[in-house]
Amino acid sequence: MSVDDQHDTRFGDTPDVDAVVVGAGFSGLYMLHRLRELGLSVRVYEKADGVGGTWYWNRYPGARCDSESHIYCYSFDEGLLEEWEWTERYPEQPEILEYLQFAADHLDLRRDIEFETEVTAATFDDESGTWTVETADGQQVTTRFFISAVGCLSKPFLPDFDGLDEFEGEWYHTSRWPEGGVDFADKRVGVIGTGSTGIQTIPEVAERAGHLTVFQRTPNYAVPARNRPLEEDEYEEIRANYDDIWDRARNSRLGMPFDSEANSARRLSEEEIHEILDKRWQQGGFRFLHAFEPGHILSNEETNAIISEFIRSKIREKVDDPETAAKLVPTDHPYASKRPPMDYNDYYGTYNRDDVRLVDVEAAPITEFTADGIRTADGHYDLDIVVFATGFDAMTGAILAMDIEGRDGLSLEEKWSAGPRTYLGLGTHGFPNLFTITGPQSPSVLTNMPMSIEQHVEWITDCIEFMDREGYDLIEPTEEAEDQWVSQTNMLADQMLFSEADSWYRGENVPDKPSVFTPFPGGLEMYRGICETVAEKGYDGFELRGAADAATVEK
């Protein structure tokens, strides 16, 4: 039976579509594919003029994914795995964008996507049990399911600097980069921000610009990525082992198939720990974070202190000028308590160049933009171009940018005013039939994203199939289940070192945003098990309402 056959009893007028999905990145594309397979009518709205999500927008020089390419892709489709071949160990932005375009064509997805269409609002109607979705160009569409696939890092964060309007040069946020690129030749360029993005782009900008000034507030622990081309025989081996690779990735903490040298460093001498770290430093990337079980590194202060000091000593070795080195060495937070960045192109060595200057804006903050550049508390820097590598209103920013109103006129913004409250990061009480792919309080950004996305999309698909089979129209998390989930997420985060950093994981980078640890920190494997148990128990913790009698069925 298709979903449409069931609608007449509760819904009266059949909604325009069964599901509206917002966003055509990794999540939205896969969600569309799976819902179509169920026989649902689906409309995807995408603000950009093409597919790609994050990889459509982030075109800055050096933009690359820190997950290794062979696992930064869909695992569900043999054809995609057979036909696509990554060229390097880590995929660069243009290649990922091309991959997603290829996937959209391979699965024939474009015909259900409306591009250049921004969803501005979604309102739930209690009587009909449907959502009305509104777009910036004035469309209104009714739907049974409203599914957010907007991504965790999609709403750029631009600090509110005085005088930016007066600046006569050019300025760009890294995640709104012009398609044709930016010509840095002979220009005096400033980059604000030394998170993952800044660290990727700074060496690239240094190579292109006349002179580069980096405005750093907090130094970071960049680990060498050790990027290189993937060889043909290596790729054949990957293909031959994909079943095992996916199995291990799905059942791991970080959604990556990497082993650790030891679960814990507790019984090892400092020398033995250093041997392991040296080995993993050579391997680079997230394999370094797997030197010991990542959960151990992220929670054990002693082990983490040794690793943090290990990286500090590497930074000091790389930077010639001891004063500059001291500024680049992080001391305010433990390694990986913020998202650990990767170094692709000799980030630290970049500061040895004569045409690169590091400015410590923690010591002397930026006070304003002027017509000619940036003024800090202790000087003025003449600039032609400024690059904002200042990050995102992460995890909730893009969802809350839509005016979402649930049962009884409850606004999502109001409900989440003290921080997001969800059950499993998949839905929130008061908002029936709203699903959030990689929503707050799911593992998302603490994992290799495609693995988490596939898990969420497949869970949502199974849930909708179950609802149709059993004759339920509406699903909504109970308040109790949600409270319990929020507590569990906070409790797990408190056991780890995340609270020791002011990070976007905790909303600390955006002024006035509630300080709440937002991703689920228990790991993908634990999370997957919880979600499976919930489903096996008939969607435990959700309230389901049937089509015929509209009776409330508490699960």
For the CB of residue 319, give the shortest distance to ligand NA7 in the complex, in Å: 18
Least Å distance between CB 225 and ligand NA7? 13
Give me the least distance between CB of 223 and ligand NA7, in Å please. Answer: 13
In whole angstroms, how close is the CB of 514 to ligand NA7 at the nearest point?
A: 16
Answer yes or no: are the C-beta atoms of 300 and 266 closer than 8 Å.
yes
Which residue number has the CB closest to ligand NA7? 195
Q: Decide whether 50 or 159 has the Cβ nearer to ligand NA7.
A: 159
**Sheet bearing 472-477, strands edge to edge:** 472-477, 542-546, 552-554
**Closer CB to ligand NA7, 114 or 502, in the complex:** 502
Least Cβ distance, residue 120 to ligand NA7 (angstroms) = 25
Give yes or no for a contact between 112 and 136, defined as CB atoms under 8 angstroms apart. no
Task: Report the half-sphere exposure of 28 (CA within 13 A, side-chain side).
Answer: 34
Query: The tokens 């997957």 sit on which residue?
Result: 528
Smallest separation (angstroms) from ligand NA7 to the CB of 201 = 9
User: Which pair of structure tokens corresponds to residue 94?
Assistant: 């243009």
Residues in the chain: 555
Q: How far is the CB of 12 from ligand NA7 (least distance, A)?
A: 44
Nearer to ligand NA7, 286 or 485 (CB): 286
- Complex with ligand NA7: residue 41 or 194, whichever CB lies closer: 194
DSSP letter string, 228-283: -BPPHHHHHHHHHTHHHHHHHHHTSSSS-----SBS-STTS-HHHHHHHHHHHHHH
Cβ proximity to ligand NA7, 139 vs 367, nearer residue: 367
Strands 472-477 and 542-546: antiparallel
Residues in touch with ligand NA7 (CB under 6 A): 153, 159, 192-198, 215, 217-218, 339, 361, 366, 389-392, 445, 504, 509
User: What is the distance between the alpha carbons of residues 401 and 403, in angstroms, rounded to a whole number?
Assistant: 6
Q: In Å, what is the CA distance from 229 to each residue of 199, 226, 283, 342? A: 21, 10, 14, 17
- Between 107 and 214, whose beta carbon lies closer to ligand NA7? 214
In the numeric block, the tokens 């969803």 are attached to 119
CB atoms within 10 A of CB 240: 10
26-37 and 93-106 helices cross at what angle (nearest 10)? 10
Q: Which is nearer to ligand NA7, 361 or 464 (CB)?
A: 361
Residue 221 vs 539, nearer CB to ligand NA7: 221
Q: Which is nearer to ligand NA7, 22 or 361 (CB)?
A: 361
State the minimum distance, in angstroms, from the CB of residue 227 to ligand NA7: 16
Token pair 């995102």 is found at 392
Exposed, middle or buried, 403 (CB in 10 Å: 0-12/13-18/19+)?
middle
Distance CA 29, CA 97 (A): 13
Q: Are 219 and 329 in contact (CB under 8 A)?
A: yes
Least distance CB 222 / ligand NA7 (angstroms): 11
Min. distance of Cβ 22 from ligand NA7 in angstroms?
A: 20
Each residue of 308-347: b (16+ CB within 10 Å) or e?
bebbbebbeebbeeeebbebbbbeebbbbbbbbbbbbbeb
Which residue number, 74 or 504, has a Cβ lying nearer to ligand NA7? 504
β-strand partners of 447? none
Give whichever of 288 and 423 is closer to ligand NA7, judged by the CB atom: 288
CB of 522 to ligand NA7, least distance (A): 19
Q: Name the residue nearer to ligand NA7 (CB basis): 194 or 303.
A: 194
Give me the least distance between CB of 392 and ligand NA7, in Å please: 6
Tell me which amino acid residue 485 is: W
CB-CB contact of 196 with 342 (8 Å):
yes
